[in-house]
Chains A and B, each alone.
Chain A
Amino acid sequence: DQQVKQNSPSLSVQEGRISILNCDYTNSMFDYFLWYKKYPAEGPTFLISISSIKDKNEDGRFTVFLNKSAKHLSLHIVPSQPGDSAVYFCAASGLNAGNNRKLIWGLGTSLAVNP
């Protein structure tokens, strides 16, 4: 049962345009959401996060939007650059019964930014 879903395996965008990566989740106990970027042969790199008490967090070209009622979040990259081409993972976290946290990951979306 995939608690964090990234329904688009791939996305292709023109340089300079906006990239929008989507993520849906099913567990209402999740209270933190993170986006990671992964280049081939490297580990994932933390990009940006958002707490469930917010609906938007912005960091430079990257903005994450959270819609709690729809259990949906999205990552916007504006403007997109060829160096942004990578696999983007959405991850969610919530306290479990043992008061521990772990990250639940989506399957990733492969973004290609074309020059």
Chain B
Amino acid sequence: ETGVTQSPTHLIKTRGQQVTLRCSSQSGHNTVSWYQQALGQGPQFIFQYYREEENGRGNFPPRFSGLQFPNYSSELNVNALELDDSALYLCASSFYGGPGPIAQYFGPGTRLTVL
């Protein structure tokens, strides 16, 4: 059991709406990363938060935003939803304490469908 939880598990929205996805990190982890995985693709890095600050961002528009809270839980917000935003959204937590990546532990994901 990874200890990383995500909510909700499934979500259906319509174009133009806004959505908030939530993630609870594994205990002791200080870094959270969000990924978008479209069907048949590998996870695409959206952004990463370390100690409540954005610590890196992939090639996603500003309508994708996030927050990390003092308890290291996190939110992914997507505004003005588009059909192509339909995907599995994965949250991964890790402990960053020095150089080199530490293995990330993933939650089960939130399946977002935009109609």
Contact = CB atoms under 8 A, between A and B. Distances in A.
Contacts of A46: 103-105
Interface string B96-115: 00011101111111000000
B92 interface: yes
Contacts of B48: 100, 102
Contacts of B58: 102
Interface stretch (A11-19, A67-75, A103-111): A103-111
Given A46-B103, A101-B101, 16 more contacts: A34-B101, A41-B108, A45-B2, A45-B106, A46-B104, A49-B101, A49-B103, A96-B56, A98-B56, A101-B56, A102-B33, A103-B33, A105-B45, A106-B42, A107-B40, A108-B42
Interface of B: 2, 4, 33, 35, 40-45, 48, 55-56, 58, 90-92, 99-101, 103-109
Interface of A: 4, 31-32, 34, 36, 41-46, 49, 51, 89, 91, 93, 95-96, 98, 100-108
